[in-house]
Amino acid sequence: MRKSPWILLIFVLIGGLLGGVLGEILRVMAPQGTIQAIFASNFTPGINPPLTIDLVLLKFTLGFILKINLLSLLGMFLGIYLYKNV
């Protein structure tokens, strides 16, 4: 049976979201130390400040920021693993 790439995208997004939520919970709940420094530190690529195009009649603003931590990456890899083996 052929698997859809859309299903892979859903698995990766759900894994990343769950990992990100766990990372935020760990950031709040874990005591200051090595575990919090490793798992709760974020890498934030994106467009900051947002790009704004003003055409007098219309004004477009485009921007995004991804907040990625180690647990969100692990969640994405787990989503890929589950996709391949399920």
The structure's pTM equals: 0.78
Contacts with 43 (C-beta within 8 Å, 6 or more apart), sequence order: 67, 68, 69
Neighbours of 46 (CB within 10 A): 10
Which run of H or of E encompasses 66?
A: none
Q: Where are the domains of the chain?
A: 5-47+62-85
Q: Give the count of alpha carbons within 13 A of 14, CB side only.
A: 12
pLDDT tens for 18-70 read 999 998 888 888 788 887 788 778 888 888 888 999 998 999 999 988 888 89
Closest CA to 46 of 25, 21, 63: 63
Per-residue confidence (pLDDT) for residue 46, from 0 to 100: 87
